[in-house]
Copies of this chain bind each other. A is one copy, B any other.
Protein backbone atom coordinates (compact mmCIF):
# COMPACT_ATOMS: atom_id res chain seq x y z
CA UNK A 1 0.00 0.00 0.00
CA UNK A 2 2.94 2.31 0.50
CA UNK A 3 3.18 3.91 -2.88
CA UNK A 4 5.47 2.32 -5.40
CA UNK A 5 8.99 3.80 -5.58
CA UNK A 6 8.66 3.48 -9.32
CA UNK A 7 11.74 5.33 -10.37
CA UNK A 8 12.30 3.29 -13.50
CA UNK A 9 15.59 3.89 -15.21
CA UNK A 10 15.37 4.24 -18.98
CA UNK A 11 18.15 4.82 -21.53
CA UNK A 12 18.45 8.31 -22.84
CA UNK A 13 17.39 7.77 -26.43
CA UNK A 14 14.19 6.11 -25.34
CA UNK A 15 13.29 8.78 -22.80
CA UNK A 16 13.88 11.43 -25.44
CA UNK A 17 11.29 9.80 -27.64
CA UNK A 18 8.81 9.53 -24.77
CA UNK A 19 9.31 13.18 -23.99
CA UNK A 20 8.89 14.23 -27.61
CA UNK A 21 5.70 12.23 -27.88
CA UNK A 22 4.23 13.78 -24.74
CA UNK A 23 5.33 17.28 -25.73
CA UNK A 24 3.78 16.92 -29.16
CA UNK A 25 0.51 15.94 -27.52
CA UNK A 26 0.43 18.79 -25.06
CA UNK A 27 1.55 21.41 -27.58
CA UNK A 28 -1.20 20.22 -29.91
CA UNK A 29 -3.82 20.40 -27.17
CA UNK A 30 -2.93 23.66 -25.53
CA UNK A 31 -0.67 25.46 -27.96
CA UNK A 32 2.94 26.34 -27.22
CA UNK A 33 2.23 29.41 -25.13
CA UNK A 34 -0.26 27.72 -22.84
CA UNK A 35 1.84 24.65 -22.23
CA UNK A 36 3.94 24.47 -19.10
CA UNK A 37 7.06 22.40 -18.80
CA UNK A 38 5.68 21.05 -15.55
CA UNK A 39 2.74 19.60 -17.42
CA UNK A 40 4.94 17.90 -19.98
CA UNK A 41 7.16 16.47 -17.28
CA UNK A 42 4.12 15.25 -15.39
CA UNK A 43 2.75 13.51 -18.42
CA UNK A 44 6.01 11.73 -19.16
CA UNK A 45 6.36 10.79 -15.53
CA UNK A 46 9.75 12.39 -15.19
CA UNK A 47 10.93 15.51 -13.41
CA UNK A 48 11.39 18.87 -15.07
CA UNK A 49 15.19 19.06 -14.98
CA UNK A 50 15.30 16.04 -17.26
CA UNK A 51 13.53 17.99 -19.98
CA UNK A 52 16.16 20.70 -19.68
CA UNK A 53 18.97 18.17 -19.58
CA UNK A 54 17.79 16.70 -22.85
CA UNK A 55 16.36 19.69 -24.70
CA UNK A 56 17.93 22.80 -23.15
CA UNK A 57 14.80 24.99 -23.08
CA UNK A 58 11.11 25.09 -23.84
CA UNK A 59 11.93 26.43 -27.26
CA UNK A 60 14.43 23.64 -27.73
CA UNK A 61 11.76 21.11 -26.97
CA UNK A 62 9.43 22.72 -29.50
CA UNK A 63 12.19 22.74 -32.08
CA UNK A 64 12.89 19.07 -31.55
CA UNK A 65 9.20 18.29 -32.03
CA UNK A 66 9.07 20.34 -35.18
CA UNK A 67 12.21 18.73 -36.54
CA UNK A 68 10.85 15.28 -35.91
CA UNK A 69 7.48 15.79 -37.52
CA UNK A 70 9.02 17.72 -40.43
CA UNK A 71 11.43 14.89 -41.10
CA UNK A 72 8.52 12.48 -41.13
CA UNK A 73 6.56 14.71 -43.52
CA UNK A 74 9.58 15.12 -45.74
CA UNK A 75 10.26 11.44 -46.16
CA UNK A 76 6.57 10.68 -46.61
CA UNK A 77 6.06 13.15 -49.45
CA UNK A 78 9.41 12.30 -50.98
CA UNK A 79 8.45 8.62 -51.03
CA UNK A 80 5.07 9.32 -52.60
CA UNK A 81 6.62 11.47 -55.28
CA UNK A 82 9.29 8.93 -56.09
CA UNK A 83 6.64 6.22 -56.40
CA UNK A 84 4.74 8.34 -58.93
CA UNK A 85 7.80 9.07 -61.03
CA UNK A 86 6.71 6.81 -63.87
CA UNK A 87 3.47 8.76 -64.37
CA UNK A 88 5.32 11.91 -65.35
CA UNK A 89 5.60 15.35 -63.72
CA UNK A 90 1.92 16.00 -63.30
CA UNK A 91 1.44 12.69 -61.47
CA UNK A 92 4.44 13.44 -59.27
CA UNK A 93 2.99 16.82 -58.34
CA UNK A 94 -0.38 15.35 -57.47
CA UNK A 95 1.17 12.52 -55.51
CA UNK A 96 3.23 14.95 -53.47
CA UNK A 97 0.25 17.16 -52.70
CA UNK A 98 -1.96 14.22 -51.83
CA UNK A 99 0.68 12.81 -49.49
CA UNK A 100 0.92 16.22 -47.84
CA UNK A 101 -2.82 16.59 -47.22
CA UNK A 102 -3.06 13.02 -46.10
CA UNK A 103 -0.25 13.60 -43.62
CA UNK A 104 -2.02 16.67 -42.30
CA UNK A 105 -5.19 14.63 -41.83
CA UNK A 106 -3.44 11.91 -39.94
CA UNK A 107 -1.64 14.30 -37.59
CA UNK A 108 -4.54 16.68 -36.99
CA UNK A 109 -3.89 19.52 -34.63
CA UNK A 110 -0.29 18.51 -34.02
CA UNK A 111 0.42 19.32 -37.63
CA UNK A 112 -1.23 22.72 -37.40
CA UNK A 113 0.46 23.73 -34.19
CA UNK A 114 3.90 22.41 -34.94
CA UNK A 115 4.24 23.32 -38.58
CA UNK A 116 2.18 26.40 -38.99
CA UNK A 117 1.23 28.24 -35.90
CA UNK A 118 4.06 27.72 -33.57
CA UNK A 119 6.76 30.09 -34.51
CA UNK A 120 7.17 32.44 -31.74
CA UNK A 121 10.45 34.13 -31.56
CA UNK A 122 12.61 36.55 -33.39
CA UNK A 123 15.91 34.99 -32.41
CA UNK A 124 17.84 31.88 -33.39
CA UNK A 125 14.78 29.67 -32.99
CA UNK A 126 13.12 31.45 -35.87
CA UNK A 127 16.12 30.72 -38.03
CA UNK A 128 16.05 27.11 -36.97
CA UNK A 129 12.40 26.72 -37.82
CA UNK A 130 12.82 28.39 -41.18
CA UNK A 131 15.76 26.13 -41.88
CA UNK A 132 13.70 23.04 -41.20
CA UNK A 133 10.93 24.40 -43.38
CA UNK A 134 13.52 25.00 -46.07
CA UNK A 135 13.88 21.25 -46.63
CA UNK A 136 10.48 21.18 -48.19
CA UNK A 137 11.05 24.20 -50.36
CA UNK A 138 14.41 22.92 -51.53
CA UNK A 139 12.89 19.61 -52.47
CA UNK A 140 10.40 21.43 -54.65
CA UNK A 141 13.00 23.72 -56.13
CA UNK A 142 14.99 20.66 -57.15
CA UNK A 143 12.06 18.99 -58.82
CA UNK A 144 10.78 22.14 -60.46
CA UNK A 145 14.30 23.04 -61.54
CA UNK A 146 14.56 19.75 -63.38
CA UNK A 147 11.17 20.18 -65.06
CA UNK A 148 11.70 23.81 -65.95
CA UNK A 149 15.31 23.57 -66.93
CA UNK A 150 15.35 26.87 -68.77
CA UNK A 151 13.38 28.93 -66.23
CA UNK A 152 15.20 31.54 -64.17
CA UNK A 153 16.11 30.60 -60.61
CA UNK A 154 13.90 33.42 -59.40
CA UNK A 155 10.92 32.01 -61.18
CA UNK A 156 11.63 28.56 -59.76
CA UNK A 157 11.94 30.04 -56.28
CA UNK A 158 8.65 31.89 -56.55
CA UNK A 159 6.91 28.76 -57.76
CA UNK A 160 8.38 26.58 -55.04
CA UNK A 161 7.65 28.98 -52.19
CA UNK A 162 4.26 29.74 -53.61
CA UNK A 163 3.34 26.09 -53.83
CA UNK A 164 4.51 25.42 -50.27
CA UNK A 165 2.51 28.37 -48.98
CA UNK A 166 -0.56 27.36 -50.93
CA UNK A 167 -0.37 23.83 -49.58
CA UNK A 168 -0.04 25.00 -45.99
CA UNK A 169 -2.95 27.37 -46.16
CA UNK A 170 -5.18 24.96 -48.05
CA UNK A 171 -4.38 22.22 -45.56
CA UNK A 172 -5.24 24.56 -42.72
CA UNK A 173 -8.51 25.47 -44.40
CA UNK A 174 -9.33 21.78 -44.71
CA UNK A 175 -8.70 21.30 -41.02
CA UNK A 176 -11.17 24.04 -40.14
CA UNK A 177 -13.98 24.11 -42.69
CA UNK A 178 -13.12 22.02 -45.68
CA UNK A 179 -12.73 18.55 -44.26
CA UNK A 180 -15.47 17.38 -46.60
CA UNK A 181 -12.92 17.51 -49.38
CA UNK A 182 -10.65 14.46 -49.39
CA UNK A 183 -6.85 14.59 -49.78
CA UNK A 184 -6.92 13.27 -53.31
CA UNK A 185 -9.63 15.68 -54.45
CA UNK A 186 -7.88 18.63 -52.85
CA UNK A 187 -4.58 17.67 -54.42
CA UNK A 188 -6.16 17.56 -57.87
CA UNK A 189 -7.83 20.95 -57.38
CA UNK A 190 -4.59 22.58 -56.33
CA UNK A 191 -2.63 20.88 -59.05
CA UNK A 192 -5.18 22.12 -61.58
CA UNK A 193 -4.63 25.64 -60.36
CA UNK A 194 -0.85 25.48 -60.51
CA UNK A 195 -0.12 23.09 -63.28
CA UNK A 196 -0.96 25.23 -66.28
CA UNK A 197 1.47 27.78 -64.87
CA UNK A 198 4.29 25.36 -65.59
CA UNK A 199 4.04 26.18 -69.24
CA UNK A 200 7.13 24.35 -70.46
CA UNK A 201 6.40 21.02 -68.81
CA UNK A 202 3.48 20.15 -71.03
CA UNK A 203 5.50 17.46 -72.75
CA UNK A 204 5.23 14.12 -70.94
CA UNK A 205 1.72 13.26 -69.78
CA UNK A 206 0.17 10.20 -68.19
CA UNK A 207 0.31 6.96 -70.19
A-side residues, CB < 8 A to B, are 28-34, 109, 113, 117, 119-123, 126, 130, 154-155, 157-159, 161-170, 172-173, 176-178, 180-181, 185-186, 189-190, 192-199
Contacts and interface: CB of A to CB of B under 8 A. Distances in A.
Nearest to A199: B196
B164 A169 contact: yes
A30 B197 contact: no
Nearest to A163: B166
Number of chain copies forming the complex: 2
A162 B157 contact: no
B159 A193 contact: yes
Contact of A193 (B34, B122, B194): B194
A107 to B, nearest CB: 15
B181 A192 contact: no
Contacts of A29: 122
A36 B122 CA distance: 14
25 contacts: A28-B122, A31-B126, A32-B120, A33-B120, A34-B121, A113-B122, A117-B120, A117-B126, A120-B120, A130-B176, A154-B181, A155-B189, A158-B173, A158-B190, A161-B169, A161-B170, A162-B167, A162-B193, A162-B194, A163-B166, A166-B166, A166-B169, A192-B197, A193-B198, A197-B197
A120 B58 CA distance: 14
A42 to B, nearest CB: 18
Contacts of A28: 122
Contact of A31 (B120, B159, B194): B120
A166 B29 CA distance: 27
A21 B11 CA distance: 51
Contacts of A169: 161-162, 164-166, 168
A200 B51 CA distance: 56
Contacts of A119: 117
A173 B197 contact: no
